[in-house]
Amino acid sequence: MARGSRTSLADLAGAVGDNSPVERLVAAPSNAAGQMPLKDLVANPRNPRDDLGDLANLASIADIQLQPVVAVTKRAYLALYPDDAITARYVVVNGCRRLAAAHEYGRTDLSVVVNDEIARDRVTLISASIAENVDRQDFDVIEEAKAVEALVRECGRGDEAAARLHRTTAWVSQRRALLKLAPELQTALRRGELAIREARNLAQVPMEQQVARWRASLDKKDKGGRGSGSDTPRPESPARVITRAIADFDAKPEALADALKTHLGDDGVARLVALWTA
């Protein structure tokens, strides 16, 4: 990707090597910025996200990058995690989705801010990784809970982790409690079929009783959905309808098609088909 004749930090580093002025600069507490080729960048192996999700909303990065990614040098990262296999010059801490989108959509370089200060210790690095993702709609709550748990382990105390994230101690405790849910309930929470408030209550129940308690609650809600004197049941959420249709797909494949069309509309179905056939 042409960037004119200006010499970039990545060009200097490639020409001079690991002992170049660039390497000494980015190891300093102050920030350094420049265009870096993708071959010099690797995503944080300890990124709290299990899945980078749909990158379609980042397709414009092929033409323009609105926000730089934040990275640390290989040297600074390996000082914290010497057993991790890092071969690139820089480890992206904030902007892993932008890095993935750059690869996906044919970009050859990215604007990068290199700041080894965020790799001064593990707690700071984990906090920086979490801060990018907390409260994002595509960052599911179980990923969030796992990230918070990792930070608490490094800090040694929940209140210190809360201070790092600028959250309350209660919020940290509530997120950690979600990891006590049975796997089936964690999946339901990720799909939006189980509310966080209800999940927190179920997490206080012995794991072997949680699923039965949840199903009993669903049955009660279904029965309670009938208004006084009315025989009209409360409509099911789209997530539950689609989930049931997937479970019955072998017997009734048309049910899934109907559920998706109802939930997505004609335009949404057309986009989905285009993605499948691309």
User: Using only C-alpha atoms, what is the Rg of the chain?
Assistant: 23
CA distances from 113 to 66, 124, 249 (A): 13, 17, 48
125 and 16 within one domain: yes
Given a cut of 50, is residue 29 above it in pLDDT? Answer: no
207 is a domain residue: yes
What residue numbers bound the domain in which 196 lies?
A: 140-223
Residue that is last in its domain, among 78, 106, 136: 136
How far is the C-alpha of 31 from the C-alpha of 50, rounded, in Å?
A: 29
Residue 155 falls in which region: left (phi positive, over 0), alpha (psi -120 to 50) or beta? alpha
How far is the C-alpha of 59 from the C-alpha of 216, rounded, in Å?
A: 44
Ranges 70-79, 118-127, 258-267: which has the least confidence: 258-267
50 and 118 within one domain: yes
71 and 94 within one domain: yes
111 and 194 within one domain: no
State how many domains the chain has: 3
Q: Residue 90: CB partners within 8 Å, gap ≥ 6?
A: 26, 36, 40, 41, 42, 71, 72, 73, 74, 112, 114
194 and 127 within one domain: no
Query: In this structure, what DSSP letter does residue 225 have?
Result: T
Residue with tokens 């809600």: 221
57 is a domain residue: yes
145 and 126 within one domain: no
29 and 120 within one domain: yes
The token pair that represents 80 in the structure block: 């914290």
2 is a domain residue: no
How far is the C-alpha of 90 from the C-alpha of 25, rounded, in Å?
A: 13
218 and 111 within one domain: no
> What are the pLDDT digits (tens) for 129-170?
887 666 554 567 888 888 899 899 989 899 999 998 888 999
Residue that is last in its domain, among 105, 136, 167: 136
> What are the pLDDT digits (tens) for 170-203?
989 988 999 999 999 998 888 888 888 889 889 9
CATH code at 17? 3.90.1530.10
233 is a domain residue: no
Residue that is last in its domain, among 136, 166, 191: 136
38 and 111 within one domain: yes
The answer to whether 172 and 158 are in contact (CB under 8 A) is: yes
38 and 93 within one domain: yes
How far is the C-alpha of 57 from the C-alpha of 51, rounded, in Å?
A: 15
104 and 42 within one domain: yes
Residue 42, exposed/middle/buried by CB under 10 A (0-12, 13-18, 19+)? buried
64 is a domain residue: yes
95 is a domain residue: yes
> What are the pLDDT digits (tens) for 80-115?
999 999 999 999 998 888 999 999 999 999 999 999
86 is a domain residue: yes
> Percent of the chain scored above 90 by pLDDT?
33
Find, among 189, 125, 111, 188, the residue nearest to 154 by Cα: 125
Task: Count the alpha carbons within 13 Å of 24 in the hemisphere toward its beta carbon.
Answer: 4
Ranges 18-32, 118-132, 218-232, 242-256: which has the least confidence: 18-32
How far is the C-alpha of 164 from the C-alpha of 202, rounded, in Å?
A: 28
In terms of pTM, does the model score above 0.75? no
24 and 124 within one domain: yes
38 is a domain residue: yes
